[in-house]
Amino acid sequence: MSALDGRITEVAVGAPADGLVLDVDDQGPPDGDVVVLLHGFPERATCWRDVVPRLHAAGLRTLAVDQRGYSPRARPGRRRDYRADLLRDDVVSVVEAAVDRVGPDRRVHLVGHDWGAVVAWLVAAERPELLATLTTFSVPHPGAYLRAGVRSKQLLRSWYMAAFNVPGLAERMAQQPGGRFEQLLARTGMTPPELARFRAEVVEDGALPGGLGWYRALALSAGAMGAGRVRVPTTFVWSDGDTAIDRWGAEHCGDFVRAEYELVVLTGVTHWIPTQAPAAAAEAVLDRVASLG
């Protein structure tokens, strides 16, 4: 961990011999309660850029993390390096670094979108003592997601996961600007500016193979994905324009939380909540933080 004027700018993760380092964008009041922000696929920490000013205005400090596969110094090449337990432990390292810096008696507020939500659920289930609250966007608790696969159209909505597991297919689709990969993202609701950011920050910067590694390691992650019940005050936010996540999983997410819980449904919003509904995203986080009194 390094710091500039007390800021956390990087966190070493994994085994020391691996030499993996995650980049962290630490902003906001230095003495504010800490909110750790986890992005999803195929985005990076910049997806929170319109959310964090609203959190800072409320006195919160934000740590937006470029996760494994995305941070330039944390892009291992093996499929097994993207197992869910390793992704979870990466975030635990970030949270522990934050707790060490602000004091052991202060827990952090954990926030995640898409794949970042999955990892946030895993951290909350395994290490609740580190967290004050949990707010997740788009992807429900893994247990609800798996149940939705047999009780709704979730499997049909998740067809792209199989395509992402074909070696080299997604990489070839993404080579051409405006090609099939970007067309797929556009059908999920990504706007032209968001597609341009995807091209610059993920494809051209070399982060796409690492991001795809999260999908390709799913077969190796069965144990870790069986997350237990969450005992942290939680808000789950789902949008009715989400083409990837079925309503059933969203509505049954609360079955896996044994603490104060709220489901927020955004109307007319696509899957990309942090970039397309930043005010609503920030409000959900702030309401959950305020629920502690």
- Which pLDDT band, with edges at 50, 70 and 90, does 277 fall under? very high
Looking at the domain assignment, is residue 166 inside a domain? no
pLDDT tens readout for residues 28-77 = 999 999 999 999 999 999 999 999 999 999 999 999 999 999 999 999 99
Residue 262: count other Cβ atoms within 10 Å of its Cβ: 16
Average confidence (pLDDT) over 122-144: 97
Residue 108: count other Cβ atoms within 10 Å of its Cβ: 21
Q: Output 158 or 5, whichever has higher pLDDT.
A: 158
CA gyration radius, the chain:
18
pLDDT tops 60 at residue 7: yes
Looking at the domain assignment, is residue 200 inside a domain? no
User: Which CATH number fits the domain that encloses residue 256?
Assistant: 3.40.50.1820
Distances in Å between the alpha carbon of 7 and those of 26, 63, 91?
6, 9, 17
Looking at the domain assignment, is residue 173 inside a domain? no
**What amino acid is encoded at 283 in this protein?**
E
pLDDT tens readout for residues 216-254 = 999 998 776 777 999 999 999 999 999 999 999 999 999
Average confidence (pLDDT) over 264-286: 98
Alpha-carbon 280 to chain mean position: 17
pLDDT for 2: 43
Q: Write out the residue range of the structural domain in which residue 63 sits.
A: 2-157+222-290
pLDDT tens readout for residues 147-190 = 999 999 999 999 999 999 999 999 999 999 999 999 999 999 99
Looking at the domain assignment, is residue 31 inside a domain? yes
Looking at the domain assignment, is residue 216 inside a domain? no
pLDDT for 5: 58
Alpha-carbon 185 to chain mean position: 17
pLDDT for 103: 72
> What sign does the CA torsion over 87, 149, 137, 226 have?
negative
Looking at the domain assignment, is residue 175 inside a domain? no
Quick check: 45 and 39 in contact, CB under 8 A? yes
Q: How far apart are CA 187 and CA 38, in angstroms?
A: 23
Looking at the domain assignment, is residue 85 inside a domain? yes
pLDDT for 155: 93
pLDDT for 6: 77
pLDDT tops 80 at residue 82: yes
pLDDT tops 50 at residue 3: no
Count of the separate structural domains present in the chain: 1
**pTM of the predicted protein model:** 0.96
pLDDT tens readout for residues 107-129 = 999 999 999 999 999 999 999 99
